[in-house]
Structure 1
Amino acid sequence: MLLNTPARDTAQQATDFTLPDPDGNLHSLKDLMGANGLLIAFICNHCPYVQAIADRLAEDAKTLKAEGVNTVAIMSNDYSYVPSDAPPFMKRFAEQHGFDFPYLVDQDQSIGQAYGAVCTPDFFGFNRHGELQYRGRLDDAHMGSGEGRTPELVYALRQIAETGQGPEQQHPSMGCSIKWR
C-alpha cells in the first residue's frame, strides 16, 4: 500500500534506542548522533521506492557526514512476512548501494512504532539536541534517476545544522507501508 508521511512534529524528541546491525554489533542513538544532527531513515530492501533512491541516499549521507550530520538506516519490516528484508539481505543491500552508515535491525518493531514511521522510505532529521526538524522526502526526483534533482533533505539538514531549525516547507516522503506484525 502506497503511503505518504505525515507532517513533522517539532515537539518530537529522538527516541533512545540500541539496535543491532546484521552482524550483531550494537549501535545506540547516543553514539550515532553527529555534532550537527542525525538523519534516521526507515528503509527496507524490497521496496521499489527505496531501491530507486538507495544510491542517492548513500551519496547524500556522505555529503552530510562531511558536514557533521550522521545517518543511520533502520529496517522495521516484519521479515518473517517479507524474507528479502532479513538481516543477511540487509547486509548485501547496504554493500550494493555503498552505505557508509549503519543499517540496523528493528526486529520487534518497537523503534519504528516509537518514531511513528509509516512507510519506506521515511526520513527523520534531528538537530544536535535530538529535536525533530525535518520529516520529508529525499529529493524531488521521485522514482526517477535523480538527474537534475533538488536534494531537499541535504538542504534541510544543512539549514538545521546552521540554525537548529528545519525549513517551513517540507514535502512528504512517499513509499510502501511498513509491514507490521
Structure 2
Amino acid sequence: MAAIPPVCDFGWKAVDATLLGVDGKRHSILEEAGPRGLVVAFICNHCPYVKAVIRRIVRDARDLKELGIGFVAINSNDGEAYPADSYENMKIFARENAFPFPYLHDDDQTVARAYGAACTPDFFGFNAAGELQYRGRLDASRKEEGAPDLRRDLFEAMRQVAETGRGPREQIASIGCSIKWREAV
C-alpha cells in the first residue's frame, strides 16, 4: 500500500542516533553530515518504489557530496515479518548497488518514529545547522523508473540548501511503500 509523508516542517531539528551499518560498524547519523547539510533517507531492500530509483539515489548522494551535503540511508522495516529487509539482505542490497553512503539498520524502529518516517523512500534534507529544509520526493518516478531527463527534485532542493541554507517553499511529497512497523507487544 502506498504512503505519502506530510509536508516539510521547516526548522525541525535532526535527531541523532547511533545505528549498526552494513559495514559492521556503528554510525552516528549526525556525524555523516557534510559541511553544508545532510540527507537522511529511509529506504529498504524490497520496496518497488526504492528499487525503481536506487541508481538515482546513489547518483544524487555522490553528486550532493561534491556540494558538501552528507547522506545516510536507514532501513527501519520489520526484517522478521519482511525477510527481504533483514540486516543480512541489507548488506547484499548495498553491495549490489555500490552505496557510497552508510546504510544503517534501525532494528527497534525508534529512529523512524523519531523522524516520523512514513514510507520508503522518505527523504529528510537538513541544512548545516541541522534544520529540516526539505521533505520531498527524489523525482517524479514512482514504481517504475522515470525518464532520464526528470527534474532532480531532491538534488536541486539540496543544492539550494547548500548555497543558501534554506530549502524551496514548494515541495512535492515522496510516495512509496509504508514503513513495515513491528506489531505492538
TM range (shorter): over 0.9
Which residue pairs with 1:38 in the alignment?
Answer: 38
What is the CA–CA distance in structure 2 between the aligned matches of 1:25 and 1:8, rounded to whole Å?
31
**Separation in 1, partners of 2:5, 2:52:** 17
Which residue of 1 is the match for residue 132 of structure 2?
A: 132
Paired AA for residue 111 in structure 2: I
Contact 1:56 1:146 in 2 (8 A): no
Partners of 2:167 and 2:153 in 1: CA distance: 11
Q: In the alignment, is the contact (CA less than 8 A) between 1:124 and 1:132 conserved in 2?
A: yes
Q: Deviations over 1:144-180 (max 9, x none)?
A: 2441111010000010011111001100000000011
In structure 2, the partner of 1:180 is 181
Map of 1:151 onto structure 2: 152
- Equivalent residue of 1:137, what SS? coil
Distance across 2 between alignment mates of 1:33 and 1:164: 14
For residues 48-100 of structure 1, give each alpha carbon's deviation from its aligned partner in whole angstroms, at most 9, with x where no partner exists: 00000100000011000111101100000010110111111111111211210
Q: Percent of aligned pairs with the same residue? A: 51
Q: How many residues are matched?
A: 181
Q: Which of 83-92 and 101-110 deviates more? A: 83-92
TM-score by length of structure 2 reads: 0.95
Find the residue that maps to 1:123 and give its secondary structure: strand
**Unaligned 5+ runs, structure 1:** none
Equivalent position SS for 1:62: helix
When the two chains are superposed, the root-mean-square deviation of aligned CA atoms in Å is 1.0
Runs of 5+ unmatched residues, structure 2? none
Corresponding position: 1:28 with 2:28: yes
Structure 1 segments, 4+ long, off by >2 Å, are 141-146
Residue 47 of structure 2 is matched in structure 1 by 47
Residue 157 of structure 2 aligns with an amino acid whose one-letter code is A
Report how far residue 29 of structure 1 moved: 2.5
**What's 1:17 paired with?**
17
What CA deviation, in whole Å up to 9, does each residue of 1:2-28 have, x standing for no partner?
111110101310001111113430110
Structure 2 contact 22–94 (Cα < 8 Å) conserved: no
Match of 2:167 in 1: 166
Contact 2:4 2:119 in 1 (8 A): yes
